[in-house]
């Protein structure tokens, strides 16, 4: 009997404030979609870092013929200097940090350069003599780049030590900025959802003051009187949360994963399993926020 009464009160409240309820659902859907997108984007950044950082190499560029760097003032790196660098890389202090070392000669560098810029104007402006011979070093832990840089930078025959992570960091900073923007928009939309929920519950409570007064006279508890109002907001938020999870699932399944399978098979991307792991937290957040907002509103506008 009590369940039927509570269900009927919830239905009455939702029907009386249908437009506000729909607004709550839409704003909750949008806000949770932004929250979910920010979380998935952060997960995506983590996947990129795990995959790309494992592939990056440290490039030890040797002095070419006409280098402008002061460290190469003596001219092109000699075979003796190259041999000394190899000895350093094989030393007990450095060897444990290195997974593989590949030497690329000037001829090999020129071949790669020519293949990359074939038919372009830049290719006619340089020659094999302008190329850098180099060591390509794959580290066991890419974050230990500074160990190699400190030992080899400034050494005779070494023009520059480059870490390929320096190329990736700006990309990750942009992606991180996008995460912050999504999180900021999510916070704004979540605030809008809270305000809409409180407005909806307040209007519902004011429109049913007579019924709640009768319930108070017959001895109904404060919780029993407030419960239908709280569940109204929770149901609207729950529907918004379910729509948000559904939208994120479709986006990942038919946009992200479909794009990966067709053109970006080499890129690790978020999957629907990440969406399902995130889904309970989104729905719990939606319902909890709605319940708390409703309870605080009722304390002020429903005098029982």
Of 148, 163, 178, which residue constitutes the final position of a domain?
163
Contact 148, 162 (CB under 8 A): no
**pLDDT for the residue numbered 246:** 93
**Same domain flag for 156 and 193:** no
**Same domain flag for 99 and 69:** yes
**Same domain flag for 138 and 227:** no
**Same domain flag for 287 and 213:** yes
Domain total of the chain: 2
Long-range contacts made by residues 161-167, C-beta under 8 angstroms, separation at least 24? 161/58, 161/59, 161/60, 161/61, 162/58, 162/59, 162/61, 163/56, 163/58, 163/59, 164/56, 164/57, 164/58, 164/59, 165/53, 165/56
Of 163, 185, 220, which residue constitutes the final position of a domain?
163
Contact 161, 69 (CB under 8 A): no
**Same domain flag for 65 and 132:** yes
CA 215 and chain centroid, separation: 50
**Same domain flag for 176 and 292:** yes
In terms of Cβ atoms closer than 10 Å to its own Cβ (0-12, 13-18, 19+), residue 34 is: buried
Residue 163's closest CA among 9, 56, 289?
Answer: 56
Containing domain of residue 153, as a range?
A: 58-163
**Spans of the chain, pLDDT less than 70:** 1-20, 49-56, 122, 142-143, 164-169, 171-172, 175, 201, 203-227, 229, 259-267, 298-304
3-state secondary structure the chain: CHHHHHHHHHHHHHHHCHHHHHHHHHHHHHHHHHHHHHHHHHHHHHHHHHHHHCCCCEEEEECCCCCCCHHHCCCCCCHHHHHHHHHHHCCCCCHHHEEEEEEECHHHHHHHHHHHCCCCHHHHHCCHHHCCCEEEEEECCHHHHHHHHHHHCCCCCEEEEEECHHHHHHHHHHHHHHHHHHHHHHHHHHHHHHHHHHHHHHHHHHHCHHHHHHHHHCCCCHHHHHHHHHHHHHHHHHHHHHHHHHHHHHHHHHHHHHHHHHHCCCCCCCCHHHHHHHHHHHHHHHHHHHHHHHHHHHHHHCCC
**pLDDT for the residue numbered 1:** 42
pLDDT digits (tens, 9 = 90+) for 61-105: 888 887 778 888 888 888 888 888 888 888 888 888 888 888 888
Question: CA 293, CA 197: separation in Å to the nearest integer?
Answer: 7
Question: CA 201, CA 237: separation in Å to the nearest integer?
Answer: 13
Distance (Å) of CA 36 to CA 40, 50, 153, 242: 6, 21, 44, 12
**pLDDT for the residue numbered 304:** 44
Of 140, 163, 186, which residue constitutes the final position of a domain?
163
**Same domain flag for 40 and 178:** yes
**Same domain flag for 89 and 120:** yes
pLDDT digits (tens, 9 = 90+) for 133-147: 888 888 787 667 777
Question: CA 38, CA 281: separation in Å to the nearest integer?
Answer: 13
**Same domain flag for 132 and 273:** no
How are beta strands 134-139 and 58-62 bridged, if at all? antiparallel
**pLDDT for the residue numbered 167:** 63
Bridge partners of residue 136, in order along the sequence? 59, 102
Q: Is 0.85 topped by the overall pTM?
A: no
**pLDDT for the residue numbered 303:** 53
**Same domain flag for 276 and 206:** yes
**Same domain flag for 45 and 180:** yes
**Same domain flag for 189 and 46:** yes
**pLDDT for the residue numbered 280:** 92
């Amino acid at each position: 009997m009590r369940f039927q009464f509570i269900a009927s009160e919830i239905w009455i409240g939702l029907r009386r404030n249908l437009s506000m309820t729909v607004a709550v659902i839409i704003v909750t859907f949008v806000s949770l979609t932004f929250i979910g997108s920010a979380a998935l984007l952060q997960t995506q950044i983590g996947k990129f870092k795990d995959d790309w950082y494992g592939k990056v190499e440290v490039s030890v560029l040797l002095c070419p013929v006409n280098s402008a760097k002061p460290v190469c003032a003596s001219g092109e790196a000699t075979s003796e200097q190259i041999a000394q660098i190899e000895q350093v890389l094989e030393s007990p202090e450095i060897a444990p940090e290195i997974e593989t070392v590949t030497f690329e000669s000037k001829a090999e560098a020129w071949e790669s350069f020519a293949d990359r810029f074939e038919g372009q104007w830049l290719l006619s402006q340089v020659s094999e003599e302008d190329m850098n011979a180099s060591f390509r070093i794959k580290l066991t832990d890419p974050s230990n780049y500074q160990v190699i840089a400190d030992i080899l930078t400034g050494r005779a025959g070494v023009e520059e030590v480059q870490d390929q992570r320096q190329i990736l960091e700006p990309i990750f900073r942009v992606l991180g900025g996008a995460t912050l923007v999504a999180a900021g928009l999510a916070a704004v939309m979540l605030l809008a959802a809270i305000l809409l929920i409180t407005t909806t519950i307040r209007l519902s409570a004011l429109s049913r003051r007579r019924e709640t007064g009768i319930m108070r006279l017959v001895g109904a508890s404060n919780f029993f009187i407030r419960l239908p109002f709280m569940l109204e907001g929770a149901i609207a938020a729950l529907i918004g949360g379910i729509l948000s999870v559904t939208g994120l699932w479709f986006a990942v399944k038919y946009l992200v994963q479909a794009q990966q399978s067709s053109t970006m098979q080499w890129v690790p991307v978020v999957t629907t399993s990440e969406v399902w792991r995130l889904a309970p937290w989104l729905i719990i957040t939606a319902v909890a926020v709605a319940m708390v907002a409703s309870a605080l509103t009722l304390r002020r506008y429903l005098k029982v």
